[in-house]
Copies of this chain bind each other. A is one copy, B any other.
């Protein structure tokens, strides 16, 4: 029942490659995960940018099993395990804990809108009780623009009071620094770890006692983001932050998930990587060319990515 050390640093919500029939492409997935780990970032597989909610539970369990079997260390994994259905969330979370994953990143059930804090509390509490494993560490996933189900400070406080240690932190993808700071000010002292949802707030978060970031663009710019995490107290930290911001701003001009995948396809010389699962669509040719041109003009390159044909 030993626990992993608490997670910290930079994690990538790992993008999921698909075969031509839209099945998850296990080989490309494992290779991308290995590359990310080599760049120093952890694996928040099954996040929003992973198209995880476009995968069935069995598909997610199979991918996670294959990832752990490949030798990637579960101490660096924080899979997304929150779904609309209580029973699915319990199944996926229990499986992640059994495999030794250091954390579980948990969306609230997101179909019903306008639900009460009481209802969300019951949902999280019921999952914790049913998983019933002292190794479980939950990171609450606050991403109101997508889930449309925000997690209030009052809800976090209640969960943290009743499940200290198990409710280990949050990924705050609100993009609202005041919200992240309120979480740090109130709960960091109680061992609640705040990860921001973009590297654009990484330095600010670290300076206020936060633990790191879980960011889409860590899929394509991992080593530079990880470098800022490691050297945030250096004299040139603000300059490093500005460098990260330029890359991030370029990706944000495009639909994020297809843009990330196109960059990997381009620098990996592997067009198959560009595929997305419906309801998403690939970048049109004009956009994908513009993305690469924008990135090259800003000096960006995935220089560490091993091309598929290497």
Contacts and interface: CB of A to CB of B under 8 A. Distances in A.
A87 interface: yes
A5 interface: no
Interface string A102-113: 000000111111
Contact of A278 (B57, B59, B113, B122): B122
Interface stretch (A48-56, A195-203, A237-245): A48-56
A280 interface: yes
Given A54-B109, A113-B145, A145-B113, A86 B22 contact: yes
Given A111-B146, A145-B113, A146-B113, A55 B281 contact: no
A126 interface: yes
Interface string A269-291: 00000000111110000000000
Nearest to A120: B279
Interface string A125-153: 01000000000000000000111110000
A86 B277 contact: yes
Contacts of A115: 279-280
A116 interface: yes
Contacts of A88: 56
A54 to B, nearest CB: 5
A85 interface: yes
B59 A87 contact: yes
B112 A111 contact: no
A109 B110 CA distance: 12
Contacts of A57: 56-57
B119 A279 contact: yes
Nearest to A280: B119
Contacts of A91: 56
B54 A111 contact: yes
Interface string A163-203: 00000000000000000000000000000000000000000
B109 A278 contact: yes
B279 A54 contact: no
A118 interface: yes
Contacts of A112: 53-54, 146, 279-280
Contacts of A281: 116, 118-119, 122
A228 to B, nearest CB: 29
17 contacts: A22-B126, A54-B86, A54-B109, A55-B85, A55-B87, A56-B85, A59-B87, A86-B277, A108-B279, A109-B278, A115-B280, A116-B279, A118-B281, A119-B279, A119-B280, A119-B281, A122-B278
The 3 closest A-B pairs by CB, nearest first: A53-B111, A119-B279, A123-B278
Interface of A: 22, 48, 53-57, 59, 84-88, 91, 108-113, 115-116, 118-120, 122-123, 126, 145-149, 277-281
